[in-house]
Amino acid sequence: MIPSNIVVHQQSKVLELSYEGGKIYRLPFELLRVLSPSAEVQGHGPGQETLQTGKRDVLIANIEPVGHYALKPSFSDGHDSGLFTWDYLLFLCENQEQLWKEHLDKLAAAGLDRDTPMTQAGSASGHSCGSH
């Protein structure tokens, strides 16, 4: 399902998605950033995720459509490789509360919190994307 309207709210740091039938969702930029569908965040398979921290104040610097199937936000921390399909955005909208709780639980289990700065370990410098 494709949103009928998309608004980027820089002040409140939310992406507002309106759907036919009057349903409106507000996805925080931080949630979008930490749950980006990119390989950089999700890895290339189960268990390869990179836990994202220090993203509370991230902004969406730019957002552009990709064909008729996705949005590509560019975040203020330089991350811009996530393609958010319409299905994935709707999934985030409908499961936002549970997904956020799971993210916070993963942080707690790792002894981290939302504001822990990201370390360089496991970032682009050490990630090969399978090109050995």
Domains in the chain: ranges and CATH: 5-109 (3.30.2020.30)
Tokens read off for 95: 């499961």
| HSE of 89, CA atoms in CB hemisphere, 13 A | 29
Model pTM above 0.85: yes
Burial class (CB in 10 A: 0-12, 13-18, 19+), 91: middle
**How do residues 99-131 score in pLDDT, each as one tens digit?**
999 999 999 999 999 998 887 433 343 344 443
Contact between 47 and 29 (Cβ < 8 Å): no
Q: Where do the H-state alpha helices sit in 1-132?
A: 29-34, 39-42, 86-109
**How do residues 53-106 score in pLDDT, each as one tens digit?**
999 999 999 999 999 999 999 999 999 999 999 999 999 999 999 999 999 999
Q: Dmax over Cα atoms in the chain, in whole Å?
A: 49
